[in-house]
Structure 1
Amino acid sequence: MPGYAIAHLYDVDVNADIVEYLERIDSTLAPFGGKFLVHGGNQVSMEGPEHAVAVVIEFPDYQAVQDWYRSAAYQAILPLRTGNASGTAILAQDCGEDHIATDVLER
């Protein structure tokens, strides 16, 4: 099942560091099979900070997303983003096609 890197970013200071981050991130994704599903485009923040944006990157599996995030290449550019934006980043596994909301409840 796919794995995902999901970010909810706000207060992004689009400066030289962010530009460098954007210029370099694609090359960190390629070795792990990562591809952007949501990045830019039309977005409306319905809850939380008004100018927040969502980013979703898909990987072939959960191990690949973890390996990408911990990779030396990504860790080298991560401070370019975290030093210039607030937000939350989550690594998540696909829940499968037959998932329903109550599956997360202990029975």
Structure 2
Amino acid sequence: MTAYAIGNLRPPAHLDEQVFVYMERIQATLDPFGGRFLVHNAPLEVREGAWPEALVIIGFPGIEEARAWYDSAAYQELIPLRADHIPGDVVLVEGVADGYDASRTAAAYRAEQLASTADQG
């Protein structure tokens, strides 16, 4: 199942030189794990709420590859080049399986909530 590294970053108006070095070197850390940029600071069309930050999404073949990339010595060496100059949040998350149906998830959540309410009452 596909997995993603998602960055919600808050870049300053002026980027430090180390950020450019990070950007120049990151792809080499992704390649051994099948990682590729899917979104990289593209303009956002906010439809609900507020999203003042920059969005980065990197896709991986699976969660193990995403974890291995993030934990790799090559990427750990790069992190300070970005993190020391651009604050933000980074998460790893699995995607949904082929054929995923949100209505089945809703039914399971509903049943779980009803059971929990019945236990309390």
TM-score by length of 2: 0.77
- The residue that corresponds to 2:116 in the other structure is none
Offset of residue 14 of structure 1: 1.0
Deviations 1:11-57, CA, capped at 9 Å, x for gaps: 34511110000000000000000000000232245524x3x110000
Change (3 A) 1:63 1:14: same
- More strand by proportion, 1 or 2? 1
Query: Number of residue pairs matched?
Result: 105
Cα distance in 2, alignment partners of residues 73 and 103 from structure 1: 43
Larger Rg: 2
SS for the counterpart of 1:11 is: coil
Offset of residue 77 of structure 1: 0.4
Change (3 A) 1:102 1:86: farther
Instruction: Name structure 1 gaps, 5 residues minimum.
Output: none
Please report the RMSD computed on the Cα atoms of aligned residues, expressed in angstroms. 2.0
- More helix by proportion, 1 or 2? 2
Once the two structures are overlaid, the 10-residue window that deviates more, 72-81 or 95-104, is 95-104
Change (3 A) 1:104 1:55: farther
- The residue that corresponds to 1:73 in the other structure is 74
Offset of residue 58 of structure 1: 0.2
SS for the counterpart of 1:25 is: helix
Whether 1:7 aligns to 2:39 is no
Instruction: Name structure 2 gaps, 5 residues minimum.
Output: 113-121
Sequence identity percentage: 33
